[in-house]
């Protein structure tokens, strides 16, 4: 089976590099975007098995990316979109679900092992649904 391809859209350089390192160590193919514009362009090209999408981003935020993808779907389908968020954004998370997100991770509350575990859970669900 081919390695899963994961897109990480995160403007915080430390977190972006942390997620990249974590996921690559597990054998995933990792693509990165440091702002909403880049993230949207990559998502519209499509072909990702999983997308970790920060809500708060420069240029275009995560929810706006989801809105734009609904308006013009990607050329090649993407797997589940998991929102990266911080505590206290419940209404934003709810809107994210309405726009098609599959789940969310609270960045400040999760250690690297928990993040990896969640990534595996979302990928397994997506693979079972195929």
Residue 112 belongs to domain with CATH number = 3.40.50.2300
Radius of gyration of the chain (CA): 13
Residue pLDDT, tens place only, 73-130 = 998 999 999 999 886 678 999 999 999 999 999 988 888 899 999 999 999 988 877 6
Domain count of the chain? 1
Q: What does the DSSP assignment read for 80-116? A: -EEEEE-TT-HHHHHHHHHTT--EEEEGGG--HHHHH
pLDDT (0 to 100) of residue 127? 80
Handedness of CA 108, 115, 54, 32 (dihedral sign): positive
Residue pLDDT, tens place only, 16-36 = 999 999 999 999 999 999 999
Mean pLDDT of 5-21: 96
Query: In degrees, to the nearest 5, what angle opens at C-alpha 49 toward C-alphas 46 and 51?
Result: 75
Q: How much is the pTM?
A: 0.94
Per-residue pLDDT band at 1 (split at 50, 70, 90): low
Domain containing 60 equals 5-129
């Amino acid at each position: 089976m081919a390695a899963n391809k994961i897109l990480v859209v995160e403007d915080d350089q430390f977190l972006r590099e942390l997620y990249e390192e974590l996921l690559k160590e597990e054998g995933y193919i990792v693509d990165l975007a440091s702002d909403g514009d880049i993230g949207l362009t990559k998502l519209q090209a499509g072909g990702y098995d999983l997308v970790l999408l920060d809500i708060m981003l420069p240029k275009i935020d995560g929810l706006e990316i989801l809105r734009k993808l609904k308006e013009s779907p990607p050329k090649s389908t993407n797997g589940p979109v998991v929102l990266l968020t911080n505590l206290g954004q419940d209404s934003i998370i709810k809107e994210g679900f309405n726009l098609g997100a599959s789940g969310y991770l609270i960045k400040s509350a999760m250690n690297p092992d928990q993040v990896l575990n969640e990534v595996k859970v979302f990928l397994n669900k997506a693979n079972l649904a195929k």
